[in-house]
């Protein structure tokens, strides 16, 4: 297991300098109509996520985890509040602009890997880069580097059905960071794996976060994994609350 770095105070680097959050949710509210009533999920929620840190989002079902993740990933718009990515206010942008930011600045990892079954591991990682305009040769070279980093060099020509669950998820993680995003959002990334494989995948993800400097928010029910992250947060009464 990897040693965790010394945890900085939120908003302050280890040398005392002010840190600027990579992802910032400020006073974000989101509700849904439920018949004649309104269901309020988030009520002025605030969250800052910093470069190179891993934050665990631990909350019971129905508390609003998915809503928070969708807002952070620009998949939904808040009714009020601001969502800043790299210092840019993004919540009021149109669909096309938000899609462009998701392509370059946000990486997603899901509980079920969502790999394209007809493509090899190498191709699954190269495709998002090619969609963003990178030449195939360069995209495949970066894909090979990521596969090597995830210890999957001998699996680059295998399709998802030929990979184990842990291997599939490591390919999914490599795909998520292929375009060097600022933010990584992972929704139960180890939830479909056995404990030993979960820990192995989590350590591979941690190494990648530390090496790349991406800011990572992981929703998880696995308390053992949550305790290994830099910070733990939950949702209470529609607000983000820090856990000890």
pLDDT digits (tens, 9 = 90+) for 199-224: 888 888 898 888 888 999 999 888 88
Q: What is the pLDDT of residue 59?
A: 86
Q: What is the pLDDT of residue 15?
A: 52
pLDDT digits (tens, 9 = 90+) for 46-89: 999 999 999 999 988 778 888 999 999 999 999 999 999 998 99
Q: What is the pLDDT of residue 5?
A: 38
Question: By percentage, how much of the chain surpasses pLDDT 90?
Answer: 54
Domain ranges of the chain: 21-242
Q: What is the pLDDT of residue 18?
A: 67
pLDDT digits (tens, 9 = 90+) for 102-138: 988 999 988 777 899 999 999 999 999 999 899 999 9
* DSSP-assigned beta bridge partners for residue 80: 29
The whole-angstrom separation of Cα 30 and Cα 8 is 30
Is 29 strand, coil or helix?
Answer: strand
The whole-angstrom separation of Cα 230 and Cα 20 is 17
Give the pTM. Answer: 0.84
Q: What is the pLDDT of residue 70?
A: 92
- Compute the radius of gyration of the chain from its Cα atoms: 18
Tokens of 125: 């990682």
Is 58 strand, coil or helix?
Answer: coil
Is 84 strand, coil or helix?
Answer: strand
pLDDT digits (tens, 9 = 90+) for 152-211: 999 999 999 999 988 998 899 899 989 889 999 998 888 777 888 888 888 888 988 888
Q: How far is CA 227 from CA 23, 222, 230, in A?
A: 22, 9, 8
Q: What is the pLDDT of residue 113?
A: 73
CATH superfamily of 21-242: P-loop containing nucleotide triphosphate hydrolases (3.40.50.300)
Tokens of 168: 């599939």
Which residues 6+ apart lie within 8 Å of 181 measured at CB?
104, 105, 106, 107, 214
Residue of 193 and 7 predicted with greater confidence? 193
Asked if residue 18 lies in contact with residue 51, where contact means CB atoms within 8 angstroms, the answer is no
Q: What is the pLDDT of residue 83?
A: 95
Asked if residue 162 lies in contact with residue 122, where contact means CB atoms within 8 angstroms, the answer is no
The whole-angstrom separation of Cα 13 and Cα 20 is 10
Q: Give the sheet arrangement for strand 54-57, strand by strand.
A: 106-109, 183-187, 215-219, 54-57, 231-236, 239-243
Q: What is the pLDDT of residue 8?
A: 43
């Amino acid at each position: 297991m990897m040693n965790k770095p010394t945890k900085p105070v939120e908003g302050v680097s280890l040398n005392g300098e002010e840190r600027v959050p990579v992802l910032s949710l400020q006073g974000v509210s989101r509700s849904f109509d439920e018949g004649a009533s309104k269901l309020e999920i988030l009520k002025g929620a605030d969250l800052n996520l910093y470069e190179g840190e891993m934050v665990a989002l631990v909350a019971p079902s129905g508390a609003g985890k998915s809503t928070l993740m969708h807002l952070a990933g620009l998949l939904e718009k808040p009714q009020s509040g601001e969502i800043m990515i790299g210092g840019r206010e993004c919540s009021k942008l149109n669909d096309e602009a938000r899609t462009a930011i998701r392509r370059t600045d946000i990486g997603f990892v899901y509980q079920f890997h969502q790999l394209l079954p007809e493509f090899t591991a190498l191709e699954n990682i190269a495709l998002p880069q090619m969609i963003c305009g990178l030449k195939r040769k360069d995209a495949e070279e970066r894909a090979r580097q990521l596969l090597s980093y995830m210890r999957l060099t001998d699996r680059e020509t295998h399709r998802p059905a030929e990979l184990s669950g842990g291997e599939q998820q490591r390919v999914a993680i490599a795909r998520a960071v292929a375009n060097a995003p600022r933010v990584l959002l992972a929704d139960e990334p180890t939830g479909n794996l056995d404990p030993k494989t979960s820990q192995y995948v989590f350590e591979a993800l941690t190494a990648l976060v530390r090496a790349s400097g991406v800011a990572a928010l992981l929703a998880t029910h696995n308390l053992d994994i949550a305790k290994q992250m830099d910070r733990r947060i939950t949702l209470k009464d529609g607000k983000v609350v820090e856990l000890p």
